[in-house]
Chains A and B, each alone.
Chain A
Amino acid sequence: MGNTLIVGRGLKKFFEIKTGLFSRKRLNVKAVDGVDITINKGEVVGLVGESGCGKTTLGRLILRLIEPTDGELYYNPSEEILEKIKNGEKISQDELKKYSIFHMGKNDVRELRRHMQIVFQDPYSSLDPRYLIKDIIAEPLRSFGWDSKDAYSRVEELLKSVGLGPEFMNKFPHELSGGQRQRVAIARALALKPEFVVLDEPTSALDVSVQAQVLNLLDDLRKELDLTMLFISHHILVVRHIADRIMVMYLGKIVEIAETKEIFKNPLHPYTQALLSAVPVPDPKTKRMKIHLEGEVPSPVNPPKGCSFHTRCKFAFEKCGWTANELVEYLRLVMDPTRNEELKGNILDEIEIVSDTELIMRFKELENPGNIRGVIDKEKINNNIRAFYGIMGIEASGKEVKIKLYEPKVPELKNVGNNHFVACFLH
């Protein structure tokens, strides 16, 4: 191939939070939880997902601006490495230290910064308020040993290429507008002529009209300089404008990857469908089904088992990874004889969670154990309590009813043809 610029396998970043007295309890926020990523040369990959799903963390991870928890990541990997990754062979420690961005020494990473750059979301905080614009843009040049005369003439060139005049050289960031600042940030990122640029929501802090200008600028620069980009955004339309391929992220995992046209034409993952249905269409006559996502994004500290989207998914079924914890509340609700008359004579005492896949309902009195299954099925269909799809078997013995669930399995990204990958049991 020789065409692959960035390959990452099993990228993970957990943030540790300490709670409790004297920080005894340690919890992990799973911001990025096992992501595989491949970016080809000259390609623009869009990364979309709602806020808090870990897309910014992933962007920073790729540049190793934050220390990874696990995984390996290669910049411009050799054929040999690519072959090994493809065949799932183990890569030796020596090779990891030499090639993987996550394993190499600080100085090697610093060298790589010549080739990989980033534009941050907020242009108000990404420029040092005490630096002149020319010094901000010259900083990467100076740190790689350019002398000031060469650096400043390059700065002038760069300012021109992002559409700003030389009069901006001697200004402070606070004298500039948001759009102008973001142009400065872009100029800084391009100063070292990098091959790969991460754009971390570069337009979301800007006015809509300015957004379009900045997007067009990025599009022009990309064609002119033959850049490879990872474009992060929560706005799928912004990404559509510029990306060749789109990755959809949910709770630290990639749920769908496809080419831009394909994903808009044929979104497969229910989450992607929901994202797309939220996009406003400028034609008032178009009627579409809107998919409203219910509930909050689950906490990344304790993400749902199985497919992490199943708690909000309209199509969730048996295999999606329901756990006993999620069922308890629904069971309490449903087992009430005032709600379901069939259950008259059954008085629920307590529900014990044995494991993720097993729970026991204890009754004080159990007159019609036979009706329990019927009630659960009825509620499942009539009231759309999807959690009940996860029930594999119900057994009654004495005054106890044992409920078994399907083993939660995590969906893998599967190729469904056309280079369209989706992590969903439906496909």
Chain B
Amino acid sequence: MFDKMSDSWKPRIENFKITMKILLKSPASAIGLIIVLVYFIIALLDQVDPYILGITTNVNTLIPNYVNTAPQPPSWLTNPWDFSLPFGTTYPGINLYDGIIKAIRIDIAFSLFVVVSGAIIGIVLGVFSAFYGGWFDEIIMRLTDIFFSIPYLVLVIALGVFLGRSLEILSIGLIILWWPIYARVVRGQALSIKEQTYVEAARASGVKNSRIIFRHILPNTMAPIFVQFSFDLATIVLALATLYFIGFAPSNSWLPELGFLSSIGYEYAIVGDWWTIVFPGFALMIFALGMNLLGDGLRDALDPRLRR
């Protein structure tokens, strides 16, 4: 029995290998993949055991040090062999290394939550509206039109004003705005897939509609979804950082977040303490860059025309 199982996995693993081969063929997407992996590993390690990464506090907030609030430069600037403060500190006395590591985890987790929720809602609505068509399709598509016309900053800030500025409200606002793109992408794909003969063949075999939708149509629409997914992971992190940078964060929040980290020290950056904004800013930029490079690579690797 076990042999049979491994037999049927073999071609699937083979397929995965082909994907990886095409992905790694281009140096840009290989770099993207490495960056993304490094970020995810950092986030995972921080979740499992932050001590591995040299962080001594196991709390979910930034720890201000009001004794010495002025930013201190990275320790290796004065002594090349001293890595006690690799990124220096920012106002008010926050260790940037601790902050950035925690912020990477929080940002990725938040982004994953928003994008996965949005994608699930969008995929389900999109595939149903493509399959059943008619007035349901019409309603869903007009809804997506409406949501596409709202700038996300405006909606999220408005929600924050009325419902309170918290991470939960923020995620709800972003999910509301992020499912329509998935609904559209999936619908477009599903419209062409459902006309394929193999869907008709499944129907002729007596396969029920729900199985046709979830086992035949959905898996074949997934390639562009993965691509969109990787772009959006970066976009949501940037959106969250933007909101926190412009001061959306609750006033008493010490949430580790890359945008927030950049914003609290930037006044010092102007007077010469460059590390207060450069390190959190670069952490953000490199993540977004890695995700986008990976997304571009995935687009090629999952393109059926390039696979054969």
A and B, one complex? yes
Which residues in A have some Cβ–Cβ distance to B below 8 Å? 60, 63, 65, 110, 113-114, 117-118, 120-122, 125-130, 132, 134, 139-140, 143-144, 152, 169-172, 174-175, 185, 188, 191-192
Check B11–A125 contact: CB distance below 8 A.
no
Q: Is the CB of A120 within 8 A of B8?
A: no
**Chain B residues closer than 8 Å to A144, beta-carbon distance:** 206
- Check if B220 sits within 8 Å of A188, measured CB to CB: no
Least CB distance, B246 to chain A, in whole angstroms: 44
Nearest-neighbor residue (CB-CB) of B204 within chain A: A118
Distance of A247 from chain B, by nearest CB (Å): 22
Task: Tell me the bound Cα distance from A92 to B288 in angstroms.
Answer: 68
A328 to B24, CA, bound (A): 68
Question: How far apart are the CA atoms of A275 and B220 in the complex, in Å?
Answer: 41
B207 with A143: CB separation less than 8 A: yes
A110, B207: Cα distance in complex, Å? 8
A270 to B84, CA, bound (A): 96
Q: Which of A152, A169, A175, A188 contacts B201 (CB 8 A)?
A: A188
B206 touches A143 (CB 8 A): yes
4 additional A-B pairs beyond A117-B204, A134-B8, A171-B11, beta carbons within 8 Å, are A110-B208, A113-B205, A126-B200, A128-B220
Name the one of A121, A122, A125, A139 contacting B205, with C-beta atoms under 8 angstroms: A139
Verify if B197 is at the interface (C-beta below 8 Å from A).
yes
Residues of the B chain whose Cβ atoms lie less than 8 Å from the Cβ of A139:
202, 205, 207
- B219 interface residue (CB < 8 Å to A): yes
Binary interface encoding of chain B residues 183-221 relative to chain A, with 1 for a CB under 8 A from any of its CBs, else 0: 000000000000011101111111110010000100110
Interface hits, B232-265 → A, CB 8 Å: none
Q: Give Cα A132 to B8, complex, Å.
A: 8
Across the interface, do B11 and A126 meet the contact criterion of CB distance under 8 Å?
A: no
Chain A residues positioned under 8 Å from B308 (CB to CB): 174
30 A–B contacts, CB within 8 A, in A order: A65-B203, A65-B204, A110-B208, A113-B204, A113-B206, A114-B206, A118-B201, A120-B200, A122-B197, A125-B196, A126-B200, A126-B201, A127-B198, A127-B201, A128-B216, A130-B219, A132-B11, A134-B8, A139-B205, A140-B205, A140-B207, A152-B4, A169-B7, A170-B7, A170-B11, A171-B11, A172-B11, A174-B308, A188-B201, A192-B205
Report whether B204 and A170 are in contact in the complex, using a CB–CB cutoff of 8 Å.
Answer: no
B58 interface hit (Cβ, 8 Å): no
Expressed in whole angstroms, the minimum distance between the Cβ of B39 and any Cβ of chain A is 30
| A125 cross-chain contacts in B, Cβ below 8 A | 196-198
Which residues of B sit under 8 angstroms from A121, Cβ to Cβ?
Answer: 197
Q: For the complex, what is the distance from the CA of A125 to the CA of B11, rounded to whole Å?
A: 20
In the complex, what residue of chain A is closest to B199 when comparing beta carbons?
A128
Chain B residue with the shortest CB-CB distance to A63: B204
Which residues of B approach A to under 8 Å, CB–CB?
Answer: 4, 7-8, 10-11, 15, 196-198, 200-208, 211, 216, 219-220, 304, 308
Which 4 pairs show the lowest CB-CB distances between chains A and B?
A140-B205, A113-B206, A126-B197, A128-B198
State which of B10, B203, B205, B208 has its C-beta within 8 Å of the C-beta of A188: B205
Q: Is the CB–CB distance between A129 and B220 below 8 Å?
A: yes
CA distance A129 to B196 in the complex (A): 11
What distance in Å separates the Cβ of B286 from its nearest Cβ neighbour in chain A?
A: 34
- Bound together, the chains give a CA A113 to CA B220 distance in angstroms of 25
Complexed CA–CA distance, A143 and B201 (Å)? 12
Q: Which of B7, B205, B304 has the largest number of chain A CB atoms within 10 A?
A: B205
Q: Which of B203, B208, B308 has the most CB of A within 10 A?
A: B203
Q: A172 vs B200: C-alpha distance in the bound complex, in angstroms?
A: 19
Our count of residue pairs bridging A and B at CB distance below 8 angstroms stands at: 71
Interchain CA distance A113-B203 in the complex, whole Å:
9
Identify whether the interface residues of A are mostly helix, strand, loop, or mixed. Answer: loop
A contact residues around B198 at 8 Å (CB): 125-129
Task: Name the A residues within 8 Å of B219 (CB-CB).
Answer: 130
- Which residues from chain B contact A174 at a C-beta distance below 8 Å? 308
**CA A258 – CA B245 in complex, angstroms?**
82
Cross-interface CB contact of B200 among A65, A117, A192, cutoff 8 Å:
A65
Q: Find the A residue at minimum CB distance from B217.
A: A128
| B196 cross-chain contacts in A, Cβ below 8 A | 125
Nearest Cβ distance between residue A187 and chain B, in whole angstroms?
A: 12
Contacts of B11 in A (CB 8 A): 132, 170-172, 175
User: Given the complex of chains A and B, what is the CA–CA distance between A174 and B15 in angstroms?
Assistant: 11
Q: B201 to chain A: which residues have CB within 8 Å?
A: 118, 120, 126-127, 185, 188
Contact partners of A114 in chain B: CB under 8 A: 206
A110 close to B202 (CB less than 8 A): no
Q: How far is the CA of A125 from the CA of B192 in the complex (A)?
A: 12
Which of B4, B8, B10, B204 is packed against the most chain A CB atoms within 10 Å?
B204
Closest Cβ of chain B to A61, distance in Å, is 13
Chain B residues near A128 (CB-CB < 8 A): 198, 202, 216, 220
B116 to chain A, nearest CB (A): 22
Report the separation of the CA atoms of residues A110 and B15 in the bound assembly, to the nearest whole angstrom. 34
Q: Which residues of A contact B211 (CB under 8 A)?
A: 143
A195 to B211, CA, bound (A): 25
> Complex: how many Å from CA A192 to CA B203?
14
How many angstroms between the C-alpha atoms of A134 and B4 in the bound complex? 12
Cα A128 to Cα B216 in complex, Å, equals: 7
Contact present for B197 and A120 (CB under 8 Å): yes
A51 to B53, CA, bound (A): 69
Min Cβ gap B146→A in Å is: 22
Cα A120 to Cα B208 with chains together (Å): 19
**Identity of the chain B residue whose Cβ is nearest the Cβ of A110 in the assembled complex:** B206
Bound-state CA distance A127–B4 (Å) is 22
- Which B residues are in CB contact (< 8 Å) with A117? 204-205
Measured in the bound complex, the distance between the Cα atoms of B8 and A414 in whole Å is 57
Q: How far is the CB of A110 from chain B (nearest CB, A)?
A: 5
B14 nearest CB neighbor, chain A only: A172
Q: In the bound complex, how far is the Cα of B8 from the Cα of A406, in angstroms?
A: 69
